[in-house]
Amino acid sequence: MATFQPKAPDTGPHPRRQPRYDRPLTLENLEAVFQGCADFMKREVYLHGDRERMVTVCYLLGMTRNERLSDYILRPLAQDDALSRVPMDEVFKRLRYGALYNLAALVRETLDEVADDLVAGSCVIFFPGKSQALTFPVVTEEKRGVGEPSNEPALKGVRESFVESIRTNTSMVRRHMKATQLKIEEEIVGRQSRTQVDILYLDGIADPDTVAQVKRRLRDIDIDGVEAAGNIEEYLTDHLNTPFPMMPYTQRPDRFCQGLLEGRVGVMADGLPFAWLLPGTIDQFFKTGQDRAFHWMTASALSLIRWFCALITVLVPGLYIALVTFHPEAIPVKLALSIAAAKQEVPFSTVFEVLIMLLAFEVLQEAGLRLPSPIGATVSILGGLVVGNAAVEAHIVSPAVLIAVAIAGVAGYTMPSQDFASALRLWRFLLAIAASIGGLFGLAAGCAALIYHLAGLETFGVPYLAPFTNGAGQPRGHPSLLRLPLPRMKWRDGAKNTKNRRNQR
């Protein structure tokens, strides 16, 4: 039997080809599609033991639940006496309309549809001499259990997080938000992976233009597979030439539902244990799931601390270089004398000291992330102590540099979003280099370039700095740095255009 291959690719662009398998729907052609697949199974079943009346059941081992396939599909076929006394066309109708104990029965007429159903966890029944087939979803339910979010600790909130199964994730959202206005639309992305990507939004609250744009951009994605977050993020965002994340994501269903209530559009991909919220603005990367759980004064204070730490982590190394190298007169006398005394035996310049310590800090952090958890924590602690103390005692760097770099590094860990913290680390290097060239003037020019860069970003028509502007097209009723008491937060901040901006009386 010859192996059937899809249409040969040409040398031009990468267009979608439909159908992928341009052959009639027959059992032989389906076997040719899955030839070489050890998990492809075929079972011939006599209807109630009648050898003259036979159907063929095909499925992929591991994608279907064996008990459900045996009890609800194979057993009725082999034991239902009524199926042996009617013509095969009538058998087809009876199986379609309830003779088999399954929630869904789909009539398929093309080879593409049957192949996709098999990969999705269905079984297919072929009838001799018939150009149609029946598929029954009997997908296995083996998946990772719902656990606590690892990246967003639940100090005072729900202790469940999204998993890799998209239907489990949408069911968690449904349990948290029992609104009939919640819409879930599906797109298939990836030629080979055939990944389900769902768009979730509240009808009448989300911006219809944003929903339409998300749908269009997902349909325009023409890649082989969706196996990582970047396969979605980099195709949906407006700006690729920026280190700052444009699509905030969350592992927590309660925070995801809160984003939907603000008017944002959610995106989920099968196989990824988190979900995105669009449009993304800079304030979303400073919020946590605990902001609405704590008292509003505590939440506001913590929010201010995060913003202040963001300034510290990006400015302190460059500020130290500028003051010590170009403007020592701006440092208090006693502190300046202490820094000068500690630096007397250091042979390197201040710029080299700061950059080498920043680089060492990044290397230690990367090593701690890549190693197993117990070893990674040990390497991070020992590396920080040994390398830092050894560098100071060997007079490679001065203690003040070590302190400045440590303060900047620890301040960066206060960011709820590590993607945003990574962007700040990159700009920390750039501002340190700018300060080494022009002192405080270079640092100020670098800060101006950073603000200019952020002001030029937007997602789905909403400026990245929309929390500090009215560029989203709608007035914002809440401050961006503080969290008001919940009874006073009467407006939605996420939707660009909505007919229902008020969220409470």
Measured CA angle at 492 (ends 488, 493), to 5 deg: 110
In a domain, 300, yes or no: yes
Q: What is the pLDDT of residue 271?
A: 87
271-329 tens-digit pLDDT: 889 999 998 889 889 988 788 888 889 889 999 999 999 999 999 999 999 999 898 88
The pLDDT tens digits of the residues spanning 324-374 come to 989 888 888 888 888 888 788 788 888 988 998 888 888 878 877 777 766
Do 132 and 170 share a structural domain?
no
Question: In this structure, are 258 and 311 located in the same domain?
Answer: no
Count the domains in the chain: 3
Are residues 447 and 302 both part of a single domain? yes
pLDDT digits (tens, 9 = 90+) for 50-66: 777 888 999 999 888 88
Residue owning tokens 């339910």: 141
Do residues 207 and 268 both lie within one domain?
yes
- Tell me if 37 is assigned to some domain: yes
In a domain? residue 161: no
* Segment 119-124 mean pLDDT: 90
* The pLDDT of residue 215: 93
Same domain, 51 and 114: yes
- Answer yes or no: are the C-beta atoms of 365 and 380 closer than 8 Å: yes
For the stretch 174-201, pLDDT in tens is 999 988 899 999 998 888 888 889 999 9
Same domain, 453 and 309: yes
Is 118 contained in some domain? yes
**What is the Cα–Cα distance from 333 to 274, expressed in whole angstroms?**
52
> Please, are residues 279 and 460 in contact by the beta-carbon 8 Å criterion?
yes
**Residue at 102 is within a domain:** yes
- Residue 142 domain-assigned? no
Mean pLDDT of 477-487: 77
Residues 272 and 307 grouped into a single domain = no
- Answer yes or no: do 350 and 272 share one domain: no
In a domain, 284, yes or no: no
Mean pLDDT of the chain: 84
Nearest to 474 by CA among 249, 244, 209: 209
For residues 73 and 117, membership in a common domain is answered with yes
* Predicted confidence (pLDDT) at residue 7 exceeds the cutoff of 60: no
Instruction: Determine the 3-state secondary structure of 114 from DSSP.
Output: helix
Instruction: Kindly state whether residues 313 and 452 are assigned to the same domain.
Output: yes
Per-residue model confidence as pLDDT tens digits over 61-88: 988 888 888 888 888 888 877 777 788 8
Say if residue 220 is in the same domain as residue 318. no
pLDDT (0 to 100) of residue 308 = 94
If asked whether residues 312 and 257 sit together in one domain, one would say: no
Element (H, E) at 199: strand 195-202
Q: Under a CB-based contact definition with an 8 Å cutoff, are residues 281 and 468 in contact? A: no
The pTM assigned to this predicted structure is 0.82
Q: Is residue 330 part of a domain?
A: yes
DSSP string, 12-74: S-----S-SS-S---HHHHHHHTTT-TTEEEEEEEETTEEEEEEEEEEETTTB-HHHHIIIII
Q: Domain span at residue 357?
A: 296-459
Q: How confident is the model at residue 470 (pLDDT cuts 50, 70, 90)?
A: low
